Structure 1
């Protein structure tokens, strides 16, 4: 049809004539266009202007639909002319355009998509009609046909037309079978099975699972084959077909046996027997397996024994766990005899797990010990130790299992060897893990002190290696738990100190000191109080720090007195030299430098006589530093310089030792840096400024007050400050400035002096000389 004289209104309101022509064979389409045209002519110009775009979009959509129908018409014509391949292309283009329209327009739904199913079937049929010269071309087209039958089947499933779905799945399966694509054929039979499962027809579902299994087997996909047969068997049990289910399980067992998976085969043979003949036959079968296995083991035919032990184990598992565990253990023992430790461990583990489940912990313990031996035979010492630990852990839960304590000892010996090895190879992370395992083993032996020491060592390594604070604090707390069991106050306090929980550390250092005092060990009592003093120093609690250090000095002195009177025998830690050194350090920490110097000097003499070179170097480092501080007060900078340099050399010598702990190294480095700072500071001459604050007026015979401001600009304090004024002859000092004992670095002190004169005039004061010691 032709439509002429259709007017369009532009934005300015002018009418513009435009011809639109279109021919079609569809009467309904002509009716649609007449209706659209009538609507257009009935509307005003303004309304047309607003709906112009809508009309154009509607027309475009109709044009798309016309094109799709033209493609369908073309496909049918080509099909009638037996041009099947060209017809397929046209049908595919028709489907493609249709799918675009369905996907892009709201009024279309999934039902519209399913309406296209017949065209998928048509394409499949056309592929089958094509004549071929080459066999490979025929196979290619048959595969395409099968793919479209399969798509159609799924679409019919979506529509709920199960008969049509079955028909198309079957066609696809038959084609795939013909071209020897057995797995694809199986997939389509599985599709039919799932369809009947949804319908609730268990018998047909089971039959088609069997068919799927047949073709998966032909495709040599054993896992899928077994899966399909298993599903079929389950359904047959549900519908009461016990013979069919038994046969299915027998087929699965045969498949496992043919692939060498004997344990799985035995399991399904057992299912087959149990379903068909009941428990009586099953019990009889497992007993026969046990006897055969034992006979083979007795004649050292371990492989045959293993077969029957595992047969019995899998027959019993889930039914009689005690019998199953015994059979697994028998198989494992045979594997161990054959030195097949991997399989031995596998079945010992099954046996142990079943015994633990049955709460037969002593039996489980001895099996775990066997696992440990297997690992040790394989050279895996850590796993061996872990299982020896478990052996002891489970064994001691039984009153008859005290002998299993040996497992902890066995684990300790292995962990100690491994720690030495890991430390030598500098594999510190592994060593930390082993220290923790060692700690738990010592704890099992009730050697809580060594358990705590092992956790403490692990925590120290974690801290030194930069582990997260939560990690090493947790490990320190584990050490505290063990030390608490051992009532070791010193070590508890030490761990708290490393965690910087100084309040708790002080508490236990004082407990340790009191405990040692009651035992008559003044040296160790002094140690406790000295360490408490260290903690108070960290807490900036000077009052308690002084008390603790003075107590330490008191008990150290008492110890020296006892040695002098031969009331106690000197030992290595509580030697005279160490006692003198610790007294010196206590005095040093409370800034009594002269006393500290005297005791360091005595300690130096002791260590030199004993030829203890490291201790001599340590004492020299601190003695020279303290001596330098003392001579600085008297202003002898030249001597102080020499002493400080000697001290720094001694600190450097000590720091060369690579075996120092992180804390001790930090302690030495801090003192070395402090010594260097003092050395640098004495190289700078103190600078002191004096400021007279104003121009002053007075009358003769009346004192004049001169205010002064004194500032120490040096980095060190100055002492014993006095003044030497230089005054004109006409002025007399009426009141001199008061002497000042000390001015710290950067401190400002205000003072004053008074002058008087009987002679009128204007006077200018010369600088007042400030005298001080630094």
Structure 2
């Protein structure tokens, strides 16, 4: 009776036998190809300790195996033991100077040492020796990416895709290069050329759609995503992108239909739930909008856009207490998120909780939000809290980022006059008046003491204010 050969079953049997041998210490015989398959499996699974054991036992039984020695070198490289790996590779080169894997592993060493051009030189030599150049072209492409040579990287990934048009990782890398080089039209031309040969490639249609979306050509993007769905009606990414385009076109009910399909095809994603909430929000369905925002943060508590959506939902409806409740929950989960602290500060400000608002603006600045509004509002709250020195410090820092901003200067003038430092007050007032006297209303509104001073009145009069 003839039995069908199943390589996967044979590999599983070999793995089971090998792991049983390790547990019992009873040495079993495996042919060299079995040891190679076992080692390769463990390397791909990242189980380096087991791969090392497989190579050791394999070489004890098959000391002349070239491939097992190559695996031994590969493990050394993984462990950054480059000298030990080179010793093995040099020995193997003497035996098989036309073995492309030797060149590939030596290139791997150079790559890990950041000697990427040397790695490229070796890989280009390997191309002439290998029967499967697509993998080598892909490796060369990656080396060029490491040195930010996107043009050459793109060329090599294209060579890879010419040989194997099912290598979608190469296709993604090509588009990445086009994107980095800001060659959107060229990317579309390339993808259309690829689609002429592979008309049912859902990944290519998806990428064409994304290019048109970035160019704001939404109708063309929609057509591309439609073709992606036709090519694969289970392609969740295409439905999500189609939904985004329909939102841009104001077709919210259709967008909802596409997002709903993704929920039916797989577990709900926080992105789809968020977008559905936004659509319901646009359609004025408050109940369903809020329901989906809450489902979104339940699904992924780390998605900041979800917490921001709920907070903004209540803020727009002037329900600041609930907005504060949700932004506090968000900060409890991620206290380093500047977008949360910015909203925390604004909401507390609206609620007239000035000390909390000041804390929020301070954290916003500490986390790197240097927008002018943040500096000014923080300083104004410090002024309200009668923390004059702190307000001066904040505005002096702001001046480093906005050296000619009169809103900062008029405030610094008023604060220094308030502190009875007339010299500094006068300096900032004169400087601000020379740039734009119209903003002197800041003095009148925020610093009545300074505005009433005789020398201030004289200076303002000089500039016809």
Task: Give the TM-score taking structure 1 as reference length.
Answer: 0.24
- Structure number with the higher strand fraction is 1
Q: Highest Rg: 1 or 2?
A: 1
Q: Which has the higher contact order (CA 8 A, sep 6+)?
A: 2
- Structure number with the higher helix fraction is 2
Task: Give the TM-score taking structure 2 as reference length.
Answer: 0.35
